[in-house]
Amino acid sequence: MLYFIGLGLADELDITVKGLEIIRQAKRVYLEAYTSILLVDKSRLELFYGRDVTLADREMVESASDEILQDADKVDVAFLVVGDPFGATTHADLSLRARQLSIPTKSIPNASIMNAIGACGLSLYNYGQTVSMVFFTDTWRPASFYDRIYENAYLGLHTLVLLDIKVKEPNLEAMAQGKKVWEPPRYMSVAQCAQQMIEVEEESKKGCCAGERLAIGAARVGSESQIFVSGTLQELSEADLGDPLHCLILVGKRCHEMEAELMKGYAVNKKNFDEAWNLGGYGVT
């Protein structure tokens, strides 16, 4: 059996009892290590689980999955995923490959950012499409996320924006020379995300990512150091929320006054928050 096991969001203690029992009796244990990260390193997991854990990077999962699937029709293999197992299409692809090899699979769910973000105070019922924000470069500035945000804003829905992480990315110059050199890990901050949104707004001019748009910055959701900060996108473009992982929520016009009061409690500037709220700073009309 190939088990897809969600680890939750923060540390080794977030594993479910069911997931932990499977890990402790599995023949092999892999930790997917590129779509997201826990806030503790692998050694903490191994100590708590009482098992060796093999890091599975993008190359292994997407191009060399035979190692993970080997003999999984005869023995139990645990594939550990930060958050919930099927928050990324990569894991659905691995499940399909297992099916093609007649390997049975089972998913053990856990908390993910998709539900844990409810702690910010906005109702999960009023979220629209989730979008991702990637690191812009001098030659690559994709803006496809903007149309999805506009659609959400038009319906009055909030938008959860997941921020880019770069883990074990190859150095392109070294690759051109036939060498494997890895770039240091990078994690997008709320400030960088907000700034990129404002830049795209200057070109698109539909109002859904304007500097006066109300938003929430979130960092390390689900951990002891979890933090939320609300304000305009312009304010968040200058906010420092500390260590990763970060995400951002654009507030939709269906926001209830009670939710607004909750957001105001962690506003960068409460007076500015009130002004933005009264001016309808929560999306297109």
pLDDT values of the chain reduced to their tens digit, one per residue, 285 residues: 999 999 999 999 999 999 999 999 999 999 987 788 889 999 999 999 999 999 988 778 777 788 999 999 999 999 999 999 987 666 888 899 999 999 999 999 999 999 999 999 999 999 999 999 999 988 889 989 999 999 999 999 999 999 999 877 666 676 677 777 767 889 999 999 999 999 999 999 899 999 999 999 999 999 999 999 999 999 999 999 999 999 999 999 999 999 999 999 999 999 999 999 988 877 665
- Residue 12 CA to residue 275 CA, distance in Å, equals 42
Residue 219 backbone zone (phi > 0: left; psi -120 to 50: alpha; other: beta): beta
- Least Cα distance to 209 among 147, 117, 279, 120 occurs for 147
pLDDT value, residue 192: 98
Q: Nearest Cα to 167, choosing from 30, 271, 275, 38?
A: 38
Q: What is the pLDDT of residue 7?
A: 96
Assign 3-state DSSP to the chain and report helix, strand, coil percentages, each to 5: 35, 20, 45
Helix axes 257-264, 270-278, angle to 10 degrees: 160
What distance in Å separates the CA atoms of residue 130 and residue 128, rounded to the nearest whole number? 6
Predicted pLDDT at 92:
86
Write down the pLDDT at residue 2. 97
Q: Are 98 and 239 in contact (CB under 8 A)?
A: no
Residue 88 pLDDT: 67
Measured distance CA(45)–CA(39) in Å, rounded: 11
For 69-115, the pLDDT digits (tens) are: 999 999 999 999 999 998 766 688 889 999 999 999 999 999 999 99
Burial 182-197 (b: 16+ CB within 10 A, else e): eeeeebbbbbbbbbbb
Structure token digits, residue 179: 């060498």
pLDDT of residue 172: 65
Q: What is the pLDDT of residue 170?
A: 65
